[in-house]
Amino acid sequence: MPLGPDQAAVQLGRPSPPAIEIAGLSHWYGEGKMRRQVLEGVDLSIASGEVVLLTGPSGCGKTTLLTLVGALRQVQAGQVKVFGQELAGSSRAERQQLRRSIGMIFQGHNLLRCLSAEQNVQMGADLLPGLSYRARRDQAREWLRAVGLGDQLHKLPHDLSGGQKQRVAIARALATHPRLLLADEPTAALDSRTGRDVVVLLHGLAKQQGCGVLMVTHDPRILDLADRVLRMEDGRVVDTASADSVTAGALAATEAGSS
What are the CA-CA distances from residue 170 to residues 58, 100, 145, 240, 251 (Å)? 22, 16, 12, 26, 29
Q: What is the pTM of this model?
A: 0.83
Give me the torsion for CA of 114, 185, 101, 132, rounded to 10°.
-40
Other CB atoms within 10 A of residue 214 CB: 24
DSSP letters for 183-246: EESTTTTS-HHHHHHHHHHHHHHHHHH--EEEEE---GGGGGG-SEEEEEETTEEEEEEEHHHH
> Given this model, what pLDDT does residue 3 score?
45
10-residue mean pLDDT profile of the chain (259 residues): values are: 46 68 96 94 95 94 96 96 95 94 88 94 85 91 92 95 91 91 90 88 87 93 93 90 56 43
> Given this model, what pLDDT does residue 192 score?
86
Q: What domains can you pick out in the chain, each with its CATH number?
A: 18-101+206-259 (3.40.50.300)
Q: Give the end-to-end CA distance of the chain in Å, rounded to a whole number.
A: 47
* Cβ atoms 237, 80 nearer than 8 A: no
> Given this model, what pLDDT does residue 246 score?
53
